[in-house]
Structure 1
Amino acid sequence: MRAPIVPTAEGVTRQVLAQNPALMLVEFRFATGAIGALHQHPHVQASYVQSGRFRFTRGDEVVDLAAGDSLMIAAHQPHGCLCLEAGVLIDSFAPMREDFL
């Protein structure tokens, strides 16, 4: 059974792909111009750009990523993104994000 697709912000949806207590894999779909608001959490996060283009803010760093690029985000590090071209992010979180269930 597939997990439900959940709207998270204007132009953004989330779908949990796989999970166990140690690790969670999540797909985020972004429309052009959609924003992943600046936030932080106690989970280590890896983001892989499956398609599209994104401008990530990670702490004081700003980096543009395109399909095939990836980024690591430390626990408690402020981060967010702007979608420059509609696309999909595949994010992993360790441990899993219980708030996504």
Structure 2
Amino acid sequence: MTAPGNEFLIVLLGLSVLLSSAYAFGRMHQWHRRGRERDDAYRTGYDIASRSILSMMAANQQAAQPAPADYRARRGGRHARLHAGSVDRQAA
């Protein structure tokens, strides 16, 4: 036989297990759903950013000016002196 107060404890224990399980399953469902939404948002944002960068690059390419005809003369450094020296030797 069981003591008269045990039924209440058994029902209380069963109810606490049920509520804890329901809470755990709800949290797992929420985590799974948010993960899917986060993946979708990432893919959408990645596509928008890719298109934006490509259109910005195309706009910058159109706005770029061509290099000047006397490009070698305007460059500084060793190569500019070499080219200038070869021009001087050819003129002499």
TM norm structure 2: 0.14
- Which structure has more relative contact order (CA 8 Å, sep 6+)? It is 1
Larger strand share, 1 or 2: 1
Larger helix share, 1 or 2: 2
Flag the structure with larger Rg: 2
